[in-house]
């Protein structure tokens, strides 16, 4: 997409899976991309190298999304290196599954802190900048399980439902500054976590998918890139499912 040429983006959790696919697809469309990582430095640097091979600028920054100071530092570093910031994709997330009567406080807190507070931290860090420049695109990665819930995932589903509420509220607050805020809700996607899941779990989820196959990370990335482009300039506060009909 030509209108994305020379834009600058942050993609949280961009070293693996869906986040890596998003970072690479944005770069293919002409965007300079900064990604963060907590532990996967090798994987993050590999994505940076791939982005640079596409002729774009790239950064890998160690930052914990659950810590606001880290978010602010990453935003300022990206602006200094790229000369500006136009796009934020909040993708970083974890799951620590358990039925509610066995779930520990730590399991609840860590998932909420990374998945939901992480989104708040980065949106808060860019909001003033986007507001001043009177433009910006924010895309938050939620999940169909934030729309419907899932057995054994009360913490994950709550965090992803919270992202949907956050998306809609921030879209209302920032709309008058020409800032688009949307969410993408993947279903079952072929990531490392899904590949390593027990076959019976995969087959049960696959049976829900109308299109009869598991989605690919790049299929989520294509939708994110569209939402970051001017082709989506009249879309805000939306939640777009990329699930092959799994939610129906």
Other CB atoms within a 10 A radius of the CB of residue 108 amount to 17
Known catalytic residue: 68?
Answer: no
Q: Give me the count of residues in the chain.
A: 248
Secondary structure (DSSP) of 180-229? EEEEEEE-SB--HHHHTS-HHHHHHHHTT-TTSS-B-HHHHHHHHHHHTS
Name the residue among 51, 80, 77 with its Cα closest to residue 63. Answer: 77
Crossing angle, helix 17-28 and helix 41-53, to 10 degrees?
A: 20
Q: What angle do CA 139, 74, 37 make, to 5 degrees?
A: 80
Q: Which of 37, 68, 122, 156 is catalytic?
A: 156
Other CB atoms within a 10 A radius of the CB of residue 79 amount to 16
DSSP run (H or E) holding 229: none
Q: Which residues are catalytic?
A: 156
């Amino acid at each position: 997409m030509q209108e994305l040429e020379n834009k600058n983006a942050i993609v949280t959790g961009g070293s693996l899976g869906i986040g890596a696919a998003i970072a690479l697809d944005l770069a293919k469309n002409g965007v300079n991309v900064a990604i963060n990582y907590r532990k996967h430095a090798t994987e993050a640097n590999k994505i940076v190298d791939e982005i640079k091979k596409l002729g774009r600028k790239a950064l890998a920054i160690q930052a914990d999304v659950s810590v606001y100071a880290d978010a602010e530092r990453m935003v300022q570093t990206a602006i200094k290196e790229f000369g500006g910031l136009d796009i934020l994709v909040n993708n970083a997330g974890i799951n620590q599954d358990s039925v509610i009567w066995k779930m520990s406080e730590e399991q609840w807190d860590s998932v909420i802190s990374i998945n939901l507070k992480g989104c708040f931290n980065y949106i808060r860090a860019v909001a003033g900048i986007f507001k001043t420049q009177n433009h910006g695109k924010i895309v938050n990665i939620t999940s169909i399980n934030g729309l419907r819930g899932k057995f054994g995932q009360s913490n994950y589903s709550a965090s992803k439902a919270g992202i949907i509420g956050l998306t809609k509220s921030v879209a209302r607050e920032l709309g008058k500054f020409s800032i688009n805020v949307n969410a993408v809700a993947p279903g079952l996607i072929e990531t490392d976590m899904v590949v390593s899941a027990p076959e019976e779990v995969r087959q049960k989820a696959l049976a829900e998918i109308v299109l009869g196959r598991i989605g690919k990370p790049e299929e989520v990335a294509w939708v994110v890139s569209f939402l970051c482009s001017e082709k989506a300039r009249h879309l805000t506060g939306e939640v777009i499912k990329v699930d092959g009909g799994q939610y129906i």
